[in-house]
Structure 1
Amino acid sequence: MAYLVLARKWRPQIWEDVVGQHHVTATLRNAIQHDRLAHAYLFAGPRGVGKTSAARILAKALNCEQGPTPTPCNECGNCTEIAAGHSVDVFEIDGASNRGIDEIRNLRENIRYAPAHGKHKIYIIDEVHMLTNEAFNALLKTLEEPPAHVLFIFATTEPHRVPATIVSRCQRFDFHRIRSPDIVRHLRHICDSEKISVDDEALALIARKADGSLRDSQSILDQMISYTEEAITVETVSQALGVIDLDVFFEVTSILLAHDANQMMILIDRAVSKGIDLEEFVSGLTEHFRNLLIASASGRADLLHVSAADQKRYLDAAAQHHQADLLRLIRIITDTSFSLKRDPNPRITLELTLLKMVHLDKTVEIGSLLTALGNLERSGTKPSFSPAGSPENTKPPEKKTTVQGVADQSHARPRDSVPKPEETPPPPEPGLIPVTEIETRWDEVIEAVKKKKITIGSFLNEGVVHRIEGETLEIGFAVSNGFHVDAIMRCHHQVEDVLKHLFGIPLKIRCLKGDFSPPRIMPVTPEEKQAGLNELGKKSPVIQKLIDDFDVEAIE
C-alpha cells in the first residue's frame, strides 16, 4: 500500500478529533441532537484548522445508517464512503476550478433528485470565495429555499470576499488559529503512536513555524521524519527549515545593551555567510522584541508561544529592558521590514537599522532631565540622567521641612529668610482678592499665560497657589522644579500682566520651593511637549545637539 502522509492518516474522523475548535463542534453536535440543523453553513478560517474535516464529519453524522447522530459510527457503508471521498450523496467541489455559472446551473439541476443511499444530499464547496459574481447570483434562490434533503457547506479562507447576500443565508462558523500548546500536544500524541523520538523543543519550533495550522505542522513533522533517521531535535528542525535560532536574537539584544557596533557588524556578516534570509531575520527579530515587550509588560511567561526554557529566558532578559525602549525598537524594525522588500540591497538597509539601534540611547524621563538641568544651572555640576523606570528614577523624593524661595523683583530677600509655609493660609488683607478665587480660576490663569508663552504656562501647571502676602502671590513648587522656577521668574512680567487682566488687581509673584501638595494635572498637548523640548535645547547646548543629531522625542 502506498505511504499515507500524516496529515491524511491523522485526519479527524469524529468531533473529538478536531483540535482547538470546541465552539464549532459543540454547536454542531447540539444542532444534530436537537434536530435544529440549518440548510447552509459557512466555515471560515485560516488554512489547515479543520474546516473541510468538520464538513466531512457533519456529512457522516447526517448520513450515518444509525443517524442522524452526533456520533457517527465510522463503520457503516455510508461513513466509510464519505471518509474515502467517493460517496454518491456527498459532493466535494473545488470552488477555484468550478467557479463559473455553468457549474452552478448543473448543481441546481442535480439537487432536485433524492439522495441515493443516505438521508441527505450534501454539497461541500471549498474555497467558495473563488466563485464568480454570476455564479453567486445563480446560487441565491437555491440557497434561500433548497429542497429538504439538501445541505450546503461552504468553506473559505477569505470570508470578506463572499457576498453579503450569500453570508446572510448561511450560519457562519469562524475557525480559529490553533494555539501552539494544542499543536504540540497533538504532535506528541502522533509521535508516541508512530514510535517517533522527538524533543519537546523541536515540537514547539514546528508549532511556531506552522503559525496556527495543524495540517502545516503535520506536514513539517513528516518532512523531519524523512530528514533524520535519529531522534528529531531542535537543531535538526532549525537546520532543515532554515529557522533562525533564538540564540541569534538574544545575542542581538545583548549587543544593543552593550552598544557594541563592532560585534553587531560581525553578527550580520555571520548571518549573511550562513545564507540566512534577511526578511526572515527581520521578521524573527520583530517577534523577539514583541516577546520581550509582553514579558516586560505582563511579567507572565504563559503568554509567549515558546518552550518553557525560552519562556524563562525571556522573563530574565525583559528585566534589562524598559518598555519605552522596546517600543522604539519595534517601531524601527517594523519600518525596516516594509522597506526591505523593495530595497535592491537589503543588507545595507539591515546594517544601517541595527547600527541605529546600537547608538540608540535609553529613554530618559523629562522629570529627570529637568531636575538634572536645574542642578546644573545652580551648582555647575555635570548632570546625571536616570533612565526611565530605573530604581533611581522611581524612588519617591525625600520630604523637606524647609522652603527655599526665589525672590521677586520688589521684595528681594535672602533665600533662607523665606518663611516656612503654614498649614492654614492667613486671611487676605482688606481690598485684595481672596486666594481661594485665584485657586478656583488657576486653570484660566495658566491658559492665558500659555497664549503669551506656552512654556511658561506649562511650567506654571507644576505649581500650586500657596497664599497672598501683601501684594504678592506666592506659588509653591516641588524642590526638584528649580528649572521651572527660574524660567517663570525671568518672565514674571507676563504672568503679572495676566493676573492684573483677570482679577483687576496689580499682583507681584514669588515662587517658593518646598514640600507642597501635588498640583492638578492638566492634559499636555503635543505642541506643549515639543515647545518644552525646544526650550530645553535653548538652555543647554548638549540637549540642542541631541535634538539636531538624533531622533529625540518627548514621551510620557
Structure 2
Amino acid sequence: MSFENIYGQNKQIAILKRAIETGRVAHAYLFHGMKGIGKKTTARTFAKAMNCKGENIDSCDKCSSCAKIDRGFHPDVITVEPKGVSIRIQDIRDLQNQMKFKPFEGKKRIFIIVDAEKMNGPSANALLKTLEEPNPSNILILITSRPYQLPATIISRCQKIRFDPIRRNTLASFLENSASLDSKSAWLLAPPSRGSIGNALEMMKRSYLSSKNEVIEKIVDYDNEKDPLVFFTIADCFGENRKTITEKLDTLRDWYRDMLVYKETKDPDILINQDILNITRRFSEKLSGHDILRNIKTINLAYRAIEQNANKQLTLESMMFKLLNT
C-alpha cells in the first residue's frame, strides 16, 4: 500500500510527503487519534517510502524493500507491540540495542511502537533517554489512541500528527471499493463505525447491519401496543457483551439525534439512519425537542454507567423505562 491508497488522512500524508521531499524528516513522530483510522498503516507506508528503491516520494510497492516491509521481514523496520497489558522495559532495551546499528539495507531504520501509552514508568523513562540523544540513522514513530496517558516529556520531543476520524462519504467509499459492500449498506455502516475503518470491518464480520434497528423496532412495537412490561424485553435485545451494548446505545442515540435534526430541518439527506426515515419522521412529530434532548441525556448516562461496569441489566431496564415514559 502506498500513500495514495490511504483513506481519509490527506493532510497527514501531505505533512509526511513534504518532510521526505525537503529532507526535513523528524527523528521522532507521535501518531495519535482513535483506533482503526490508519495510524499503523501510515507508519508502515512511511517506512516504505523512506526506504523505497524507486525515485518517487511515495513507495513503489514493487521493489524488494517495499515487499519485505509488507511481509514484515525488513531488517530496518522494527515494530514493538505490547506483550499482554504493557510494553515492558526489556522491550525498550531491546529496541535501544537495535538502534545502535546503522541501516542494513535501507536508507533509514524505522522503529514503530504500537499502543505506546502502554509503556510502564520504567519503559517510558528508558525511551526518554533515546529521544534526548537521537541517532540520525533512526526514525521513531509512537502510535497511540490515548496520548494523554503518555508522559509530557515524551510528547514534547516528538512531532505530533493527529489522525482524524474518517468522513462518512470517504469511509463508505472505502467499504464499497475495498471491502465489496454494496453502496447502500456502506452508507449505513459508516456512521456507527464512528469514522474508523477498523470498526467498520469488524462490524461487517459480525453482520451488524442485520440487527442495527432491533431496539428501535421494539420501541415502535411498544408505541403501537403499549405493553407495560416491554422495557424488560427491549433491555434483553442489547445482549451481554459490552461492545455490542455500547454500539446499540450509539445507534439509539443517533436515532434520537436524527429526530431532532429532522424536526428542525425536514432534510432527510443529513440523517444518519436514512433507512428508517418514516419511523424517525413519525417520532419527531410525536416528541417535543425538550423530550428528545432529555432522552439523549438518558442514553448518555446509561452509556457512561455501562463503561463504568454498572449492572448491565438494571442500567438498560432503567433507561428503557425512562425512554418509554417520555
Give the TM-score taking structure 1 as reference length. 0.51
Question: Between Structure 1 and Structure 2, whose CA radius of gyration is higher?
Answer: 1
Pick from 166, 176, 187 the counterpart of residue 164 of structure 2. 176
How many Å apart are 1:116 and its aligned residue? 0.6
**Secondary structure of the residue that 2:325 maps to in structure 1?**
helix
Matched, 1:265 2:225: no
Match of 2:318 in 1: 349
Match of 1:19 in 2: 7
Pick from 210, 213, 228 the counterpart of residue 193 of structure 2. 210
In 1: Cα distance, 2:316 partner to 2:104 partner: 63
In 2: Cα distance, 1:23 partner to 1:312 partner: 38
Alignment map for 1:16-95 (pairs within 5 Å): 16-67=4-55, 69-95=56-82
Would you say the 8 A contact 2:256–2:296 is kept in 1? yes
In 2: Cα distance, 1:218 partner to 1:344 partner: 28
Match of 1:306 in 2: 273
In 1: Cα distance, 2:232 partner to 2:127 partner: 58
In 1: Cα distance, 2:324 partner to 2:216 partner: 19
**Secondary structure of the residue that 2:190 maps to in structure 1?**
helix
Matched, 1:287 2:254: yes
How many Å apart are 1:352 and its aligned residue? 3.4
How many Å apart are 1:300 and its aligned residue? 4.3
Would you say the 8 A contact 1:96–1:131 is kept in 2? no
Would you say the 8 A contact 1:301–1:315 is kept in 2? no
Pick from 171, 175, 184 the counterpart of residue 187 of structure 1. 175
Q: Which runs of 5+ in 1 are unaligned?
A: 1-12, 193-197, 225-236, 358-556
Q: Which amino acid aligns with 1:200?
A: S
How many Å apart are 1:56 and its aligned residue? 0.7
- Give the 3 Å change call, closer, same or farther, for CA 343–127 of structure 1 in structure 2: closer
Q: Which amino acid aligns with 1:207?
A: A
Match of 2:133 in 1: 145
**Secondary structure of the residue that 1:153 maps to in structure 2?**
strand
Q: Which amino acid aligns with 1:292?
A: M
How many Å apart are 1:160 and its aligned residue? 0.6
Pick from 314, 318, 323 the counterpart of residue 284 of structure 2. 318
Would you say the 8 A contact 1:43–1:51 is kept in 2? yes
- Give the 3 Å change call, closer, same or farther, for CA 90–117 of structure 1 in structure 2: same
Q: Which amino acid aligns with 1:39?
A: H
Would you say the 8 A contact 1:46–1:175 is kept in 2? yes
Alignment map for 1:358-437 (pairs within 5 Å): none
In 2: Cα distance, 1:315 partner to 1:344 partner: 30
**Secondary structure of the residue that 1:251 maps to in structure 2?**
helix
In 2: Cα distance, 1:347 partner to 1:73 partner: 52
Q: Which amino acid aligns with 1:85?
A: G
How many Å apart are 1:43 and its aligned residue? 0.6
> How many pairs are equivalent?
317
Would you say the 8 A contact 1:238–1:245 is kept in 2? no
In 2: Cα distance, 1:108 partner to 1:268 partner: 57
- Give the 3 Å change call, closer, same or farther, for CA 29–249 of structure 1 in structure 2: farther
In 2: Cα distance, 1:111 partner to 1:339 partner: 45
Deviations along 1:493-550, one digit per CA (max 9) or x if unpaired, are xxxxxxxxxxxxxxxxxxxxxxxxxxxxxxxxxxxxxxxxxxxxxxxxxxxxxxxxxx
**Secondary structure of the residue that 1:265 maps to in structure 2?**
coil
Match of 1:108 in 2: 96
Q: Which amino acid aligns with 1:79?
A: C
The percentage of counterpart residues that share the same residue type is 26
Would you say the 8 A contact 1:44–1:156 is kept in 2? yes
Alignment map for 1:368-517 (pairs within 5 Å): none
In 1: Cα distance, 2:316 partner to 2:283 partner: 27
How many Å apart are 1:21 and its aligned residue? 1.0
Would you say the 8 A contact 1:249–1:285 is kept in 2? no
In 2: Cα distance, 1:177 partner to 1:287 partner: 17
Deviations along 1:220-240, one digit per CA (max 9) or x if unpaired, are 43555xxxxxxxxxxxx544x
Matched, 1:329 2:295: yes
How many Å apart are 1:347 and its aligned residue? 6.7
Deviations along 1:335-365, one digit per CA (max 9) or x if unpaired, are 45556743664575356324532xxxxxxxx
Q: Which amino acid aligns with 2:239?
A: D
Q: Which amino acid aligns with 2:295?
A: L
In 2: Cα distance, 1:336 partner to 1:81 partner: 48
Q: Which amino acid aligns with 2:196?
A: S
Give the TM-score taking structure 2 as reference length. 0.83
More helix by share: 2
Deviations along 1:253-302, one digit per CA (max 9) or x if unpaired, are x93xxxx7x525375466467x5439566554333212212333455445
Alignment map for 1:216-227 (pairs within 5 Å): 216-222=199-205
In 1: Cα distance, 2:324 partner to 2:59 partner: 61
Q: Which amino acid aligns with 2:44?
A: R
In 1: Cα distance, 2:179 partner to 2:40 partner: 24
Per mean C-alpha deviation after superposition, the further-off stretch among 290-299 and 344-353 is: 344-353
Q: Which amino acid aligns with 1:277?
A: G
How many Å apart are 1:33 and its aligned residue? 1.3
How many Å apart are 1:314 and its aligned residue? 4.0
Match of 1:438 in 2: none
Structure with the bigger RCO (C-alpha within 8 Å, sep 6+) is 2
Q: Which amino acid aligns with 1:126?
A: V
In 2: Cα distance, 1:112 partner to 1:75 partner: 29
In 2: Cα distance, 1:123 partner to 1:336 partner: 41
How many Å apart are 1:63 and its aligned residue? 0.5
- Give the 3 Å change call, closer, same or farther, for CA 186–148 of structure 1 in structure 2: same
Match of 2:239 in 1: 277
Pick from 220, 232, 236 the counterpart of residue 251 of structure 1. 220
